């Protein structure tokens, strides 16, 4: 059964950053761009041979992020398989500046669907490229952290926000 939020694009190459403050971070690229970022669990690659320069670039940019040397990613993203609303929500999320947060309701209103906060939350839960598309910067209307699918859950989300200076807990 295929996930309604995200159908995986054909992943061609993958590799990982073995040492980050939140554990290993796996990255996969397809011929269209960055396809997956997964914290903890490995990503199986479908292709063999020399990986594209994009894979090395994505790993370097993520490493720079964790070293507080990068605030913005400059990577093409493989958005294939996303439902139209989820794509719009994730693109809006990608525009949230480093060190800032938005609520699910604010993103829903920005998308012209002010009562779609839960749908925005579902889109964030299906984010194929967390950190690069910073779903960790989306918080509840009460200002609290709600859900994060990576190992460590909300603690990982809080760590990423503290790393960016966007949370003081």
Residues contacting 1, CB < 8 A, separation 6+: none
In a domain, 94, yes or no: yes
Beta carbons of 11 and 43 less than 8 angstroms apart: yes
Q: Is there a domain that residue 5 lies in?
A: no
Q: What per-residue confidence (pLDDT) applies to 77?
A: 96
Is residue 153 situated within a structural domain?
yes
pLDDT of residue 167: 67
| Residue 71 to residue 99: CA distance in whole angstroms | 9
**Structural domain tally of the chain?**
1
* Residue 12 pLDDT: 82
Any domain includes 26: no
Q: What is the pLDDT of residue 50?
A: 66
Query: Tens-digit pLDDT profile for the chain (169 aa)?
Result: 344 444 555 668 989 999 999 999 999 999 899 999 999 988 877 665 667 899 999 999 999 999 999 999 999 999 999 999 999 999 999 999 999 999 999 999 999 999 999 999 999 999 999 999 999 999 999 989 998 989 899 999 999 999 999 665 4
Residue at 106 is within a domain: yes
Q: Show Cβ contacts of residue 58 under 8 Å, excluding neighbours closer than 6 positions.
A: 27, 29, 34, 37, 75, 132
Predicted local confidence at residue 149, as pLDDT:
87
3 state DSSP class of 35: strand
Can you give the pTM of this predicted structure?
0.89
Measured CA to CA, the distance from residue 97 to residue 76 in angstroms comes to 18
Residue 147 is predicted with a pLDDT of 86
Tell me whether residue 41 is in a domain: no
Helices (H), ranges, 2-152:
53-66, 84-94, 104-110, 117-125
**Which domain covers residue 90, as residue numbers?**
84-163
Q: Is 135 a catalytic residue?
A: yes
Task: Indicate whether 52 belongs to any domain.
Answer: no
Strand partners, 26: 16, 38
CATH of the domain at 134: 1.10.10.10
Residue 123, domain member (yes or no): yes
Catalytic position from the list 12, 59, 135, 167:
135
Measured distance CA(19)–CA(49) in Å, rounded: 24
């Amino acid at each position: 059964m295929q996930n309604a939020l995200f159908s995986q694009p054909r992943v061609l190459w993958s590799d990982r950053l073995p040492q980050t403050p939140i554990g290993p971070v796996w990255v996969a690229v397809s011929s269209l761009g960055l396809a997956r970022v997964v914290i903890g669990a490995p990503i199986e690659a479908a292709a063999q041979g020399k990986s594209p320069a994009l894979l090395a670039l994505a790993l370097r940019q993520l490493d720079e992020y964790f070293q507080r040397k990068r605030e913005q990613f400059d990577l093409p993203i493989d958005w294939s398989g996303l439902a139209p609303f989820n794509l719009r929500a994730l693109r809006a999320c990608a525009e949230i500046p480093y060190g800032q947060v938005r609520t699910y309701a604010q993103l829903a209103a920005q998308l012209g669907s002010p009562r779609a906060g839960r749908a925005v939350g579902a889109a964030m839960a299906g984010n194929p490229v967390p950190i690069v598309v910073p779903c960790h910067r989306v918080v509840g209307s009460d200002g609290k952290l709600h859900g994060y699918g990576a190992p460590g859950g909300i603690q990982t989300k809080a760590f990423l926000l503290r790393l960016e200076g966007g949370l003081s807990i």
